[in-house]
């Protein structure tokens, strides 16, 4: 389904470029279009992620201004051109077509809605701008929201409620703010000061949003740093390189398939990345040993969850996931370690990581065996569900295994 969504958006990106090209071929490129496109590209520089998915840019302000200044289909050309040029200029050429598709749907819906509303003959002259513009803003916002929630669910498994309470409400609030700012600029400043006022307003908006951009980047930097630490631990065993990142990706998918809240998903992601950091205190000879460990070596290896948790506990950003890591080798029947917890006594995040860890381990090639297929690994997990593994977690894995 993820691939289908990407293909649809890329196809719509091609369609949008062709439509824009046709509009330009028929009407040419006017100065207003060129200036508004430049404004849209500049506004698109400020781009920051929303939690749990999606991002905000200032580009919609340029589109809403275009809708109020030039003809509706010219405004669509401005939106498409701004997206394509922005993706190329700001270092995202590989995703330019996908971005163009995603960022062209809302403007297209808005332009069609605007044109339809403006053609209604019964509208009073005083409403000939307000009603079509308001209709276009509502249509744009609705399309953006629906596209965002579809992409979040298909691409990352994020539930409707999680998206709505996080990125969804923030995205809607920002779009309404952009629409209001654009209308105010058109009514009160553009007529008197022209594009100079729009440039100054764009700079002011960038300055206003820049702190939020920095905050969103901190989260990305945190997970990038954790991934580097995890990679440093994983390279102790060349056959488990990327293991922690793989486990994190699988665990996050499982958690979302189970409908866990995003704050719990975040803890699971941190825990999965850090679950093996305690192996820094385990001899490389033990970690790389290709045969069964003797009892003393097993005790040394089984100490790593507690070492991991103890390393994480003093660090504020990691402390919330420390207990998940401490118990990620507990078994539902109480035969695990270090505390021999049973069933619901084991934190849900620990149960998720255990299944993700086992799945990745079974499907990875080792010196002494080839990795199992995904289907074989799921069968093993199913056979041990209720004993070693949590049955609900295993069922959740089965629903998303095709995406891994």
111, 268, 293 from 310: Cα distances, Å: 57, 17, 24
The share of the chain scoring above pLDDT 70, in percent, equals: 94
- Sorted by where each begins, the domain ranges of the chain are 2-216, 235-403
Phi, psi of 363 (to 5 degrees): -95, 5
Query: DSSP string of 136-169?
Result: HHHHHHHHHHHHHHHHHHHHH---HHHHIIIIIH
Average of pLDDT values for 143-159? 90
The 3-state DSSP class for residue 55 equals strand
Q: How many CB atoms lie within 10 A of CB 294?
A: 11
pLDDT of the residue at 239: 60
- Cα dihedral sign, 279-284-286-290: positive
Fold of 2-216: Arp2/3 complex 21 kDa subunit ARPC3 (1.10.1760)
What confidence category does residue 350 fall into, taking pLDDT thresholds of 50, 70 and 90?
Answer: very high
CATH class of 235-403: mainly alpha
In the chain, the largest separation of any two C-alpha atoms, in whole Å, equals 87
The average confidence (pLDDT) of the chain is 87
State pLDDT tens for residues 207-263.
888 787 777 777 777 788 888 877 777 776 666 668 888 999 999 999 999 989 889
pTM here is 0.81
Do 324 and 347 meet the contact criterion of CB atoms below 8 Å apart?
yes
Residue 129 has pLDDT above 70, yes or no: no
pLDDT of the residue at 127: 55
């Amino acid at each position: 389904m993820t691939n289908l969504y990407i293909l649809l958006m890329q196809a719509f990106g091609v369609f949008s470029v062709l439509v824009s090209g046709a509009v330009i071929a028929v009407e040419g490129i006017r100065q207003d279009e060129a200036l508004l496109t430049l404004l849209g590209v500049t506004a698109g520089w400020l781009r920051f992620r929303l939690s749990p998915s999606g991002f905000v840019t200032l580009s919609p302000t340029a589109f809403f201004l275009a809708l109020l200044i030039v003809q509706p289909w010219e405004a669509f050309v401005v939106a498409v051109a701004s997206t394509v040029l922005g993706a190329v200029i700001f270092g995202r050429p590989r995703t330019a077509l996908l971005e163009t598709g995603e960022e062209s749907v809302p403007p297209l819906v808005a332009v069609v809605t605007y044109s339809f509303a403006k053609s209604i003959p019964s509208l009073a002259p005083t409403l000939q701008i307000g009603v079509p513009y308001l209709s276009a803003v509502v249509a744009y916002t609705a399309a953006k929201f629906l596209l965002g929630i579809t992409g979040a669910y298909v691409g990352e498994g994020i539930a409707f409620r999680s998206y709505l309470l996080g990125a969804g409400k923030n995205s809607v609030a920002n779009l309404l703010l952009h629409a209001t700012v654009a209308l105010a600029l058109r009514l009160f400043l553009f007529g008197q000061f022209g594009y100079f006022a729009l440039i100054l307003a764009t700079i002011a908006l960038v300055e206003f949003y820049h702190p939020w951009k920095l905050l969103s980047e901190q989260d990305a930097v945190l997970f990038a740093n954790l991934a580097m630490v995890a990679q440093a631990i994983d390279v102790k065993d060349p056959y488990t390189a990327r293991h922690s990142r793989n486990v994190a990706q699988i665990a996050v998918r499982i958690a979302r398939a189970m409908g866990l809240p995003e704050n719990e998903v975040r803890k699971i992601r941190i825990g999965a990345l850090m679950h093996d950091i305690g192996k820094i205190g385990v001899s490389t000879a033990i970690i790389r040993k290709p045969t069964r460990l003797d009892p003393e070596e097993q005790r040394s290896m089984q100490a790593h969850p507690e070492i991991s948790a103890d390393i994480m506990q003093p660090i504020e950003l990691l402390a919330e996931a420390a207990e998940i890591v401490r118990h990620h080798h507990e078994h539902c029947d109480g035969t695990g370690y270090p505390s021999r917890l049973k069933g619901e006594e084991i934190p849900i995040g620990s149960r998720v990581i255990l299944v993700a860890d086992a799945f990745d381990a079974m499907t990875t090639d080792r010196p002494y065996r080839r990795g199992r297929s995904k289907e074989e690994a799921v069968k093993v997990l199913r056979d041990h569900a209720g004993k070693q593994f949590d049955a609900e977690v295993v069922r959740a894995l089965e629903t998303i295994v095709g995406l891994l």
